[in-house]
Structure 1
Amino acid sequence: MIKETPNPPGSETDTDPASPYESLDSKKFHEAAERALDHYLNPAALKEAKTPRKPSTMFMVAPDMDSESLLANACESMASASVMLSDFADLLEGPHRNKALGIAQVVMLGELAVNRALDNIDPKG
């Protein structure tokens, strides 16, 4: 004898019975997979479907800033980051310290490059 069991609560889906998707989550998963495939296999279709991104103006550099001022500010920011990373590395030990010192070295190399670019700019007369 087969005992009839009722459907457990919450087993009903909110989708159309003719839909190939089991639930709304599977539909979202399918859409995400399609976007990922388009990104790698058909980037032209992705660009056509997208509207141009409008950058946020919350933290915007003034468009009329001269290159010398921008480079000087970048140099100061990188020097500060280098000092903070060195101080932070002093608090660490082992491989974590080596990673922090490696990041500090990359920042320092960037600072040197910005300094050289700043040296190459003719000062305003």
Structure 2
Amino acid sequence: MSKSSSSNLFTVSPHQDTETLLVNASETLSSLNALTCNLAFDLDASQRAIMLGIQQMAELGQLLIDRALEQVSPSPEA
């Protein structure tokens, strides 16, 4: 397999609108958050701390995307 073909394994359609991209990114980070939280408590203390650090970074990304999504498509009560 050539390097160029492996770099296109996962692609995002260039025709997707911003709201769709943000919603999908938000859902992906939400899943990552749940996975890391669940896994963290199966690890020893030092590995748990690392996993919870990853979880916190995912949560921060989630907050940033949620804010961007709110700016792109405000909720009716805002």
TM interval, shorter chain, is 0.7 to 0.9
Q: Which has the higher contact order (CA 8 A, sep 6+)?
A: 2
How high is the TM-score relative to the length of structure 1?
A: 0.52
- 1:92-118 superposed Cα distances (whole Å, 9 cap, x missing partner): 121111110011001000001000000
Higher helix share: 2
Which residue is equivalent to 1:116? Answer: 67
Q: Secondary structure at the match of 2:48?
A: helix
Q: Secondary structure at the match of 1:57?
A: coil
Is the radius of gyration larger for structure 1 or structure 2?
Answer: 1
Question: Offset at 1:59?
Answer: 1.8
Query: What amino acid does structure 2 have at the position aligned with 1:122?
Result: S
- 1:14-58 superposed Cα distances (whole Å, 9 cap, x missing partner): xxxxxxxxxxxxxxxxxxxxxxxxxxxxxxxxxxxxxxxx68433
- 1:73-99 superposed Cα distances (whole Å, 9 cap, x missing partner): 000000000000000001012111111
Aligned length: 71
Structure 1 residue 94 and structure 2 residue 45: aligned? yes
Matches within 5 A, 1:59-98: 59-98=10-49
Q: 4+ runs of 1 displaced by more than 3 Å?
A: 54-58
Which residue is equivalent to 1:32? Answer: none
Change in 2 beyond 3 A, CA 1:105/1:64:
same
How high is the TM-score relative to the length of structure 2?
A: 0.81
Query: What runs of 5+ residues in structure 1 fail to find an aligned partner?
Result: 1-53
